[in-house]
């Protein structure tokens, strides 16, 4: 992925997380771990302070649904 990642790009964030952590068990990922993984993504370009619990839960839910389908 070559474009910058922002908090509101949930689907793109999930794709980047899947690529960075292909063996992750999504059901076992906590919000703190998810946050850390996101801000460590090479193309993450947003302000880490702008996130809230709802955004993290939305990303985690979409990731779970992407893996479940």
In the chain, how many H helices and how many E strands? Answer: 3, 0
Query: Residues 22-50: pLDDT tens digits?
Result: 999 999 999 999 999 999 999 999 999 99
pLDDT given at position 2: 64
Domain extent listing, the chain: 10-68
Contact 54, 7 (CB under 8 A): no
Which CATH superfamily includes the segment(s) 10-68? Answer: IscX-like (1.10.10.600)
**pLDDT > 70: what percent of the chain?**
96
Q: What is the largest CA-CA distance in the chain?
A: 31
How many Å apart are CA 59 and CA 17, to the nearest integer? 10
CB atoms near residue 5 (< 10 Å): 20
Sign of CA dihedral 6, 9, 13, 16: negative
> Is this structure's pTM higher than 0.85?
yes
């Amino acid at each position: 992925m070559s474009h910058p990642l922002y908090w509101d790009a949930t689907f793109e964030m999930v794709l980047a997380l899947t690529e960075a952590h292909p063996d992750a068990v999504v059901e076992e990922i906590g919000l703190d771990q998810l946050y850390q993984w996101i801000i460590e993504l090479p193309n993450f370009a947003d302000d880490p302070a702008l996130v809230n619990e709802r955004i993290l839960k939305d990303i985690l839910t979409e990731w779970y649904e992407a893996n479940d389908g």
